[in-house]
Amino acid sequence: METELGFITQHIKEEVESFEYATSVNTAGRIVSSNDGVIMIEGLAEVKNGELLYISGGKYALALNLEEELIGAILLSTSADVAVGDIAYTTGKIVSVPAGKPLLGRVINPLGAPLDGKSEIKTRYYRNIEAPAPAILDRAKVNTPLYTGIKAIDSMIPIGKGQRELIIGDRQTGKTALAIDTIINQKDKDVICVYVAIGQKSSSVTKILGELEAHGALDYTVIVSSTAGQSAPLQYLAPYTGTAIAEEFMYNGRDVLIVYDDLSKHAVAYRTISLLLKRPSGREAYPGDIFYIHSKLLERSAKLCESLGGGSITALPIIETLAGDISAYIPTNVISITDGQIYLESELFNAGIRPAINVGLSVSRVGGAAQCPAMKKVSGKIRLHLAHYREMQIFARFGADLDSATKESLEMGARLTENLKQAEFSPVSMEDTVVELVVMQNDYLKGIPTNKVREVITGFLTYFHSREAAFIENMRTTKDIDEEGMKIIEYRIKRYIDRHLHLK
């Protein structure tokens, strides 16, 4: 009897203590179902969209579906263990994650918890994962190049700081490799990188971590990882977490590069959540607001104006296509949201042309304005030569008798294509790209067999650096090249071929 009374007193005491928290019936609700990280709550009336909910037992959820009777929410925990009957409370807060310098070199989950087995992340800065994009007047024009270190991109599909450039292609076409190479190329360039892995295999993320570390790129990089084994809500949140982390740096005047690998899996995660929330589905069973979800995310990348510190977020979202179909729902959406796309093709990849960029289908709508004068002077012709080469190739397939001019043009195109091949983890500087392209556009390698092109160019660059270090340094600072500079390159390549190559 006494113990029961004691229990009741205890219970009343607890209720009184928790009374402050739940000030009215409207701020607490009961969980009526829990499915794959998506919960339904009844009796919760005063709740905002995107609000953080506290669930008895120390768990959290994010309110997504606001209906009169039932509130749909996604669980913010790695284990989806809430029980029907648990109580959910509103908190009046938006979900936030740690941000700032302590995150550099770390691997975190979408909730900001470390995954790399290192110490707890200690930071004074937290940022809401949802934030409005910078307003039009807060933005400046994209006017500074962001070099990827990939010759074909930096010359023909230039990317500027604050731009959103889509990387699109079938599976296993080198999409991730392109993004990782770009991160590695930011070494010593004062650009902070955020790599967001969405729904990938844990082993892939581990591999990327190892590669970044091996190339000294981890010190300035944050990895936000949600693996395929994690719940759809966590995969859905990952890009917002990554963007919040990037924003903290951008609003402090820094340049940031963010990679979303990939948004196709993000769309699938969002579709799963929507289906569990019983929302009506549209084309390809994706919910109607998937376009809004992606545009809202990518609009947060920007180049800020000087009065806001001039920082930037450059975004490289990745989209995986099926059998090269860029007209499917998600690819067309993201193509229309971004400022251009780099289109990778299995056919090229399998033919050994790597990176497998289809230059004809790839564009950069704003990066040209950011290109430096030196690169501008040499890249226009290269694009023309390549387009001409592709045309000639089709012509040559008919087996027609080719005149010598056509043959020459075909050979030059083949050498150019060979020169644009690039192995992984071997970024080329802007200066070296310009020197190489001057050699290629004037066809100074005429007569050299295609399979020797890369070897000759590599040898020549080493030789050129040893003889013309001041010239290279001058180009690096002025970012320009004049007629005289072109002459120097011509003189050096001819001399190199005469003295060092014994092909003839």
Kindly indicate which of the ranges 148-156, 176-184, 281-289, 404-412 contains the residues binding Mg ion, using the contact rule CB under 5 A.
176-184
What is the spatial distance between Cα 259 and Cα 268, in angstroms, rounded to a whole number? 18
Q: Is 338 in the site for Mg ion (CB under 5 A)?
A: no
Contact 146, 185 (CB under 8 A): no
What is the spatial distance between Cα 238 and Cα 321, in angstroms, rounded to a whole number? 21
Specify the residue, 155 or 173, whose C-beta has the smaller distance to ligand ATP: 173
Q: Is 321 in the site for ligand ATP (CB under 6 A)?
A: no
What is the spatial distance between Cα 504 and Cα 491, in angstroms, rounded to a whole number? 19
Kindly indicate which of the ranges 15-23, 47-55, 172-180, 246-254 contains the residues binding Mg ion, using the contact rule CB under 5 A.
172-180
Sequence letter at residue 328: A
Specify the residue, 176 or 301, whose C-beta has the smaller distance to Mg ion: 176
Q: Is 211 in the site for ligand ATP (CB under 6 A)?
A: no
Q: Is 264 in the site for Mg ion (CB under 5 A)?
A: no
Sequence letter at residue 286: Y
Name the minimum Å distance from CB 230 to ligand ATP.
Answer: 17
Q: Is 201 in the site for ligand ATP (CB under 6 A)?
A: no
Name the minimum Å distance from CB 159 to ligand ATP.
Answer: 17
Specify the residue, 145 or 355, whose C-beta has the smaller distance to ligand ATP: 355
Known catalytic residue: 476? Answer: no
Contacts 24+ apart (CB under 8 A), 17-25: 21/89, 22/89
Side-chain-facing half-sphere of 29: CA atoms under 13 Å:
27
Side-chain-facing half-sphere of 441: CA atoms under 13 Å:
19
What is the spatial distance between Cα 9 and Cα 299, in angstroms, rounded to a whole number? 55
Q: Is 176 in the site for Mg ion (CB under 5 A)?
A: yes
Residue nearest to Mg ion (CB): 176
Contact 263, 330 (CB under 8 A): yes
| DSSP-derived secondary structure for 98-122 | EESGGGTT-EE-TTS-B-SSSPPP-
Name the minimum Å distance from CB 144 to ligand ATP.
Answer: 26
Of residues 127, 354, 377, 415, which one binds ligand ATP by CB under 6 A? 354
- Report the partner that residue 53 touches, choosing among ligand ATP, Mg ion, none (CB closer than 5 to 8 A by kind): none
What is the spatial distance between Cα 242 and Cα 238, in angstroms, rounded to a whole number? 6
Contact 107, 89 (CB under 8 A): no
Kindly indicate which of the ranges 137-145, 171-179, 399-407, 434-442 contains the residues binding ligand ATP, using the contact rule CB under 6 A.
171-179
Of residues 171, 476, 495, 500, which one binds ligand ATP by CB under 6 A? 171
Of residues 177, 268, 319, 453, which one binds ligand ATP by CB under 6 A? 177
| x-marked contacts with ligand ATP along 405-444 as a string, rule CB under 6 A | -----------------xxx--------------------
Q: Is 207 in the site for ligand ATP (CB under 6 A)?
A: no
3-state secondary structure 147-201: CCCCHHHHHHCCCECCCECEEEECCCCCHHHHHHHHHHCCCCCCEEEEEEEEEEC
Name the minimum Å distance from CB 235 to Mg ion.
Answer: 15
Q: Is 173 in the site for ligand ATP (CB under 6 A)?
A: yes
Name the minimum Å distance from CB 196 to Mg ion.
Answer: 12
Both structure tokens of 154: 């930096």
Name the minimum Å distance from CB 441 to ligand ATP.
Answer: 22
Name the minimum Å distance from CB 200 to ligand ATP.
Answer: 7
Q: Select which of 30, 365, 383, 454 is catalytic.
A: 365
Specify the residue, 115 or 177, whose C-beta has the smaller distance to ligand ATP: 177
Report the 10 Å Cβ neighbour count for 155.
24
What is the spatial distance between Cα 448 and Cα 27, in angstroms, rounded to a whole number? 77
Active site (catalytic) residues:
365
Note the residues at the interface with Mg ion (CB under 5 A): 176
